[in-house]
């Protein structure tokens, strides 16, 4: 393994904890010697990397099992609900699947998992995602494993290792370990990466792809072999197939590389186009099989979200939201460390990638935290660089002067204290928040489906009406029982002034129910589910035929609507 030459007087501890200074660009001829990597060992995982992966696997599995809250409808409605329909024949397809703007590639991963569970006769509420059996023993609530989130946890563990490998490739092993620490501790990564979003898988693929791309750049300096670039291109194409907007990331990476390669035409026509065309063709064939017609999902997706601004139907934010609110909230207290790491490392390519992605996503009116999730690991890598630099300062130079040596010891103690305080600060500001957000905040809509699933399997449920904003709860993938269910529709209309059912209900719950559901229609449902905020306005209307059966805590504070502190289940009165 090539190492950077260091002064002979440095101690062993110093050499072990020296941060690789990428900013030293003066000696370009020695650039290949300034990186702590080996082309052959980077391809295969060494013993240390396999050990790290096992640690990450256990950590992410626990992470996945701790996630008991509701974050965004797409976790269920665009992945598990579709997979459930493919595997068991029932499940709701939202309007996106009728318009052909979603690829079946991502849901098929979980459909395969469901099929395996069915073959093993494990497709019950004990194993299905969001159908966790709850046992009350001496007041202790025990939750069974959630299969899809555990599967996503496996993917997430690979993402952790590839962040470690990328950090080691770009900087050194010491920075890599600190980057992994930041990835594990960050609250939003813990909160989101094990959820079954397409963004979560996109994040893993992006991290792995960027690693192989950087490996290809370094390999090209020593040989003409570009096999790692072809692998990077394949991973990039898969990321775009899973999430077409991932093209924003790979456009930047490709353009940077295009300016550096000698044979630009060969790069485009021999490497990029063949790999991209192959993956696009295979995904189009897959979607042709599933849609029963030719559908070019990436085109439809980009047309709806970019050309027609269709995503604005679900809300918009100001242009600077990602820079001033969204992404800082995700990075959280790691933000100052990441900024310092970016400045000190002078790794402009990756820092530019972050700015590029945030900038282009800012052009879109509709913005969500998860859209920029692939940039979070890279940002946390710079936090790792900052922490590694701080630790380096705890190992002063071995000076011959006694006075200087005494001063150095004093500085060493001061720097150690700063590092310890930084670690304590990051842990205390992230770990409690991660636990709260994954285990407490907005858990009522998950818990109510666990309850309804249990009741349905006992034969106590015949039909359910959800009187709440559309997609507020999981659906058949959680209930895993084929009963009639109805939720308030929020399909976008071609006419801008048309108000959907969900918004009509939220504007005036009482008038909406009276006009939309007569007493006879309401009595067709054995169970009603609603938030307590709307329950207060509907209580008199419902009390004649329904009675409260169960109430679940949901949230301590409001998010984007009135406080929805609990979810309430009403059942039809006997004899009604």
Complete DSSP assignment for 390-425: HHHTTS----S-HHHHHHHHHHHHHHHHHHHHHHHH
Residue 46 has a pLDDT of: 85
99 C-beta neighbours (distance < 10 Å), count: 16
For the chain, percent of residues with pLDDT exceeding 90:
64
Q: Would you state the pLDDT for residue 20?
A: 46
Segment 119-143, tens digit of pLDDT: 887 776 444 544 344 443 333 233 3
Looking at per-residue confidence, does 43 or 244 come out higher? 244
- Tell me: pLDDT of 37 over 50: no
Tens-place pLDDT, residues 179-237: 999 999 999 999 999 999 999 999 999 999 999 999 988 877 665 556 788 899 999 99
The pLDDT assigned to 43 comes to 57
Average pLDDT for 460-489 = 94
**How many other C-beta atoms can be found within 10 angstroms of the C-beta atom of residue 483?**
15
CB atoms inside a 10 Å sphere around CB 562: 12
Which pLDDT value is given to residue 131? 39
Q: pTM, whole model, 2 decimals?
A: 0.88
Query: In 3D, which of 501, 497, 493, 533 has the Cα closest to residue 517?
Result: 501
Residue 358's pLDDT is what?
97
What is the predicted pLDDT for the residue at 576? 66
Q: How far apart are CA 382 and CA 207, in angstroms?
A: 14
> Is a pLDDT exceeding 90 seen at residue 412?
no
Q: What is the pLDDT of residue 25?
A: 37
Q: How confident is the model at residue 23 (pLDDT cuts 50, 70, 90)?
A: very low
Taking Cα atoms as reference points, which of 203, 204, 163 lies closest to residue 184?
163
pLDDT over 70 percentage in the chain: 84
14 has pLDDT over 90 = no
pLDDT at 2 over 90: no
pLDDT band per the 50, 70, 90 thresholds, residue 151: very high
pLDDT digits (tens, 9 = 90+) for 531-555: 999 999 998 888 889 999 999 999 9
Phi-psi region of 53 (alpha: psi -120 to 50; beta: other; left: phi over 0): alpha
What is the average pLDDT across 257-271? 86
Could you report the per-residue pLDDT of 50-102, keeping only the tens digit for each?
999 999 999 999 999 999 999 999 999 999 999 999 999 999 999 999 889 99
pLDDT at 148: 93
Average of per-residue pLDDT across 521-538: 93
Looking at residue 301, its pLDDT comes to 86
Instruction: Please report where in the chains the tokens 């594990």 appear, as a residue.
Output: 184
pLDDT at 407: 54
Q: What are the CA-CA distances from residue 223 to residues 33, 217, 270 (Å)?
A: 15, 10, 18
The pLDDT mean for the chain works out to 85
Among 104-108, 455-459, 539-543, the range with the most confident prediction by mean pLDDT is 104-108
Distance CA 64, CA 150 (A): 6
53: Cβ contacts below 8 Å, ≥ 6 apart: 45, 157, 158, 160, 161
Confidence of residue 398 (pLDDT cuts 50, 70, 90): low
Residue 295 banded pLDDT, cuts 50, 70, 90: very high
Q: What confidence category does residue 260 fall into, taking pLDDT thresholds of 50, 70 and 90?
A: confident
Q: How confident is the model at residue 408 (pLDDT cuts 50, 70, 90)?
A: low
Query: Which one is predicted more confidently, 400 or 508?
Result: 508
**pLDDT at residue 22 greater than cutoff 80:** no
Average pLDDT, stretch 319-345?
Answer: 96
DSSP letters for 231-288? HHHHHHHHHHHH-GGGHHHHHHHHHHHHTT-S-HHHIIIIIIHHHHHHHHHHHHHHHH
């Amino acid at each position: 393994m090539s190492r950077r030459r260091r002064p002979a007087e440095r101690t062993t501890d110093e050499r072990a904890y020296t941060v690789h200074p990428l900013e030293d660009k003066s000696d370009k001829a020695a650039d290949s010697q300034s990186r702590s990597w080996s082309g052959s060992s980077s391809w295969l995982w060494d013993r240390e990397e396999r050990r790290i992966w096992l640690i990450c696997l256990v950590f992410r599995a626990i992470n996945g099992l701790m996630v008991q809250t509701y974050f965004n409808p797409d976790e269920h409605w665009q992945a598990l609900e579709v997979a459930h329909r493919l595997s068991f024949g029932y499940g709701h397809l939202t309007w996106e699947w009728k318009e052909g703007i979603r690829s079946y590639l991502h849901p098929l991963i979980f459909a395969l998992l469901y099929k395996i569970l069915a073959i093993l006769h494990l497709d019950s509420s004990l194993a299905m995602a969001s159908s966790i059996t709850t046992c009350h023993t001496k007041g202790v609530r025990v939750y069974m494993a959630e299969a899809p989130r555990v599967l996503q946890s496996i993917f997430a563990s690979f993402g952790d290792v590839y962040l470690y490998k990328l950090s080691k490739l770009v900087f050194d092993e010491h920075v890599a370990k600190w980057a992994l620490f930041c990835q594990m501790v960050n609250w939003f990564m813990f909160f989101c990466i094990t959820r079954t979003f397409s963004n979560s898988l996109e994040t893993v693929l992006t991290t792995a792809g960027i690693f192989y791309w950087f490996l290809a750049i370094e390999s090209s300096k020593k040989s003409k072999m570009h096999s790692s670039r072809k692998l990077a291109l394949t991973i990039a194409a898969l990321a775009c197939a899973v999430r077409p907007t991932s093209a924003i990331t790979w456009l930047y990476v490709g353009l940077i590389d295009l300016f550096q390669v000698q044979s630009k035409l060969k790069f485009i026509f021999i490497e990029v186009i063949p790999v991209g065309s192959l993956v696009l063709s295979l995904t189009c064939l897959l979607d042709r099989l599933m849609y029963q017609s030719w559908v070019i999902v990436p085109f439809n997706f980009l047309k709806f979200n970019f050309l027609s601004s269709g995503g604005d139907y679900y809300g918009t934010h100001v242009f600077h939201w990602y820079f001033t609110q969204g992404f800082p909230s995700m990075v959280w207290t790691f933000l100052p460390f990441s900024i310092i790491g970016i400045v000190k490392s002078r790794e402009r390519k990756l820092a530019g990638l972050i700015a590029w992605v945030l900038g282009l996503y800012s052009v879109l009116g509709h913005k969500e935290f998860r859209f920029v999730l692939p940039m979070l690991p890279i940002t946390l890598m710079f936090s790792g660089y900052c922490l590694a630099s701080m630790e380096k300062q705890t190992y002063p130079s071995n000076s011959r002067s006694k006075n200087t040596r005494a001063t150095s010891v004093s500085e060493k103690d001061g720097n150690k204290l700063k590092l310890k305080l930084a670690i304590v600060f990051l842990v205390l500001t992230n770990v409690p928040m991660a636990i709260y957000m994954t285990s407490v905040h907005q858990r009522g809509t998950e818990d109510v489906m666990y309850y309804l699933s249990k009741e349905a399997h006992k034969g106590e449920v015949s039909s359910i009406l959800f009187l709440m904003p559309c997609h507020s709860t999981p659906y058949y993938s959680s209930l895993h029982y084929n009963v009639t269910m109805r939720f308030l529709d929020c399909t976008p209309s071609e006419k801008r002034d048309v108000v959907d059912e969900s918004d009509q209900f939220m504007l005036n719950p009482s008038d909406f129910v009276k006009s939309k559901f007569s007493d006879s229609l309401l009595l067709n449902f054995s169970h009603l589910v609603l938030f307590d905020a709307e329950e207060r306005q509907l209580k008199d209307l419902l009390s004649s035929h329904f009675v409260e059966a169960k109430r679940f805590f949901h949230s301590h504070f409001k998010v984007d609507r009135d406080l929805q502190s609990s979810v309430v289940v009403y059942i039809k009165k006997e004899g009604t």
